[in-house]
Structures are given as C-alpha cells and as structure tokens.
C-alpha cells in the first residue's frame, strides 16, 4: 500500500510539472490543437480550453491528438468537441498615440477599424483591448496602424474632419444597427436615446439604445457621445463624461 501511495504522489507531481497542466488550468485557447487531455475517471478527453470542471492531476493523461486519445480508449467531450477544427484567432494590430483628450489606442483587423479607446495609461488601454478581444492575436504594429491612428486623432482634434476608413463592426445585429445609425448623426448635433429608438422603429427602447452605446468600442468613429438624455443632460459615456462634454463643445464650434 505504501508503494502505491508513493506512485500516486509521483504521478501527480509529474503531471503538475508538465507545462500542459498549466495550459489546462488556465483554459488557454492558444493551446487548443496542440494537445488534448483525457480524464481516467470519466473516460473522456477534452481540448485545453474546455470549461468543464478541472480534473485531479493524477487522473489526467495527455495525448498529442484526438486520434491518440481514442486509441487509448477515451471518447470525445460533448461540451468542447475536441475533434472539431480549431479556428485560428483573428489577428488584431494596434498602436497607441496622444491626443488632447488623453491617450488613444487604435486597433484594426484585416477588415478595418476594430477599436478606438481613450485612456490615461498605456497598460490599462492594452488590458482593456485584451478584455474585449480575449480570443484575438494582438500585436503592436505602430507602422501598419499609424495612418489609421493619425486619422482618428485628426477627428478628435477637428471633429468636422471626416474619417474615410473601413470599419470592422462586431456585435449583435441590434448593436450594429444602432452603431450605423449613430454614424448618421452629424457633428454639432445631439439626439436623445429615445429619438434614436424612434428612428430605428423601436420606440420605447431607449434603455436598449443606451446599452448598445455603452458597448461601442469605436470612440469618436461611432459617435455615441452625440446621444444624450431626453432633457439634454450629458451623461453615460464609457470614456468619462468630461471627454463627452469636451467632444460636444468642440463639435459645437463653427
């Protein structure tokens, strides 16, 4: 019995030292496709990112592929479907620049602008981008994104300057419909959340419009700052009410 206990402890120790165990514990999507893990007590194998409850390390067996796991007698998890092809993460390039309203992070995919974020700290901005795009492959690309960054900063400093850049709008059908409607609001003009709802044929949905505005990741480019309360009050801006007021004051100038 003592020998069995020693073997048990050694097996657990070996598993916990394996870098694949760390990837499993972190549910790393980047590890999907590199290996699968099987659980001896359930007879099931999973991809590393599976949301299933973490198994005990002594019950884990690593395999290079689903075929290897199945040859060892395990069956595929019905939750994470490890035999399905792993989709490559979307490549997102970004750069950070300065404006009179603080730092600006501009990110773009091959399809167009994906995010424009205000902030006061570069590290916080990158963390914000990572939180919004957890499955994306992020890369700093100051040279490749510089033209878009310059164009966005121009819009911040001179809001009547038009931005001629393709957009990569990612959201629900309702959100993207709202965002496209916001882009029709000209500089120097404000509308209420209720008015946007009426324009879209969904009167009474002012709260839903506000939620869609809060989910907008393209500051200035999708001008959610031009949407105000029914009484004209300025509030509810993801990047701070002070920035919202500053943008509206700039746009009010001839």
Do 224 and 145 fall within a single domain? no
Do 109 and 134 fall within a single domain? yes
Distances (CA, A) of 128 to 115, 122, 134, 251: 10, 10, 10, 27
pTM for the model: 0.70
Distance, in Å, from the CA atom of 61 to the CA atom of 151, rounded to the nearest integer, reads: 52
Do 8 and 32 fall within a single domain? yes
Q: Could you please report the per-residue DSSP string of 162-184?
A: -----B---S-HHHHHHHHHHTT
Which of 29 and 105 is assigned the larger pLDDT?
105
Phi then psi dihedrals of residue 222, to 5 deg? -105, 100
Do 153 and 198 fall within a single domain? no
Instruction: Give yes or no: 46 in active site.
Output: no
User: Is 39 a domain residue?
Assistant: yes
Q: Which of 20, 43, 76 is the last residue of a domain?
A: 76
CATH code of the domain in which 26 resides? 3.40.10.10
Q: Which of 16, 41, 76 is the last residue of a domain?
A: 76
Token pair 């402890």 is found at 9
CB atoms under 10 Å from CB of 243, counted, come to 19
**H helix or E strand, kind and range, residue 16:** helix 2-17
Q: From the CA atom positions of the chain, what is the Rg in Å? A: 25
Q: Which of 47, 76, 105 is the last residue of a domain?
A: 76
Do 181 and 123 fall within a single domain? no
Distance, in Å, from the CA atom of 232 to the CA atom of 203, rounded to the nearest integer, reads: 18
Do 236 and 199 fall within a single domain? yes
Using one digit for the tens of pLDDT, what is the confidence trace for 5-62? 444 455 666 788 899 999 999 888 888 999 999 999 999 999 999 999 999 999 999 9
Are 104 and 148 contacting, i.e. CB atoms less than 8 angstroms apart?
no
Distance, in Å, from the CA atom of 32 to the CA atom of 56, rounded to the nearest integer, reads: 20
Q: Could you please report the per-residue DSSP string of 67-132?
A: HHHHHTT-EE-TTT-TTSPPPPPPEEEEEEEEETTEEEEEEEETTEEEEEEEES-HHHHHHHHHHH
Do 125 and 187 fall within a single domain? no
Do 9 and 71 fall within a single domain? yes
- Contacts from 158-166 at CB under 8 Å and sequence distance 24+? 159/187, 159/220, 159/247, 159/250, 159/251, 160/187, 160/188, 160/251, 163/221, 165/112, 165/113, 165/221, 166/111, 166/112, 166/113
Using one digit for the tens of pLDDT, what is the confidence trace for 52-90? 999 999 999 999 999 999 999 999 999 999 999 877 778
Do 69 and 109 fall within a single domain? no
Do 229 and 246 fall within a single domain? yes
User: Is 239 a domain residue?
Assistant: yes
User: Is 82 a domain residue?
Assistant: no
Distance, in Å, from the CA atom of 212 to the CA atom of 193, rounded to the nearest integer, reads: 10
CATH code of the domain in which 146 resides? 3.30.160.70
Model pLDDT, residue 9: 56
Domains: count for the chain: 3
User: Is 81 a domain residue?
Assistant: no
Do 239 and 199 fall within a single domain? yes
Do 58 and 93 fall within a single domain? no
User: Is 48 a domain residue?
Assistant: yes
97: left (phi over 0), alpha (psi -120 to 50) or beta: beta
Enclosing domain of residue 238 = 169-254
Using one digit for the tens of pLDDT, what is the confidence trace for 143-193? 889 999 999 999 999 988 888 899 999 999 999 999 999 999 999 999 999
CATH code of the domain in which 188 resides? 1.10.10.10
């Amino acid at each position: 019995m003592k020998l069995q206990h020693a073997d048990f402890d050694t097996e657990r120790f070996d598993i916990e030292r394996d870098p694949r165990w760390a990837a499993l514990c972190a549910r790393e999507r980047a590890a999907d496709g590199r290996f699968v893990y099987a659980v001896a007590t359930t007879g099931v194998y999973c991809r590393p990112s599976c949301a299933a409850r973490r198994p005990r390390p002594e019950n884990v067996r690593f395999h290079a592929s689903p075929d290897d796991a199945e040859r060892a007698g395990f069956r595929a998890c019905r939750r994470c479907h490890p035999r399905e092809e792993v989709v490559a993460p979307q490549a997102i390039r970004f750069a950070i620049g300065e404006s009179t309203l603080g730092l600006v992070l501009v990110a773009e995919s091959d399809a167009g602008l994906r995010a424009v974020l205000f902030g006061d700290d570069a590290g916080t901005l990158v963390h914000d981008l990572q939180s919004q795009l957890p499955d994306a492959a992020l890369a700093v690309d100051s040279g490749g994104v510089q033209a878009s960054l310059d164009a966005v900063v121009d819009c911040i400093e001179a809001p009547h300057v038009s931005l001629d850049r393709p957009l990569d709008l990612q959201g629900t059908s309702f959100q993207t419909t709202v965002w496209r409607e916001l882009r029709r609001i000209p500089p120097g003009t404000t509308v209420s959340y209720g008015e946007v709802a009426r324009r879209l044929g969904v009167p009474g949905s002012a709260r839903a419009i506000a939620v869609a505005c809060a989910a907008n990741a393209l500051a200035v480019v999708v001008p959610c700052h031009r949407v105000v309360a029914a009484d004209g009050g300025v509030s509810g801006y993801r990047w701070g009410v002070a920035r919202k007021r500053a943008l509206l004051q700039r746009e009010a100038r001839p």
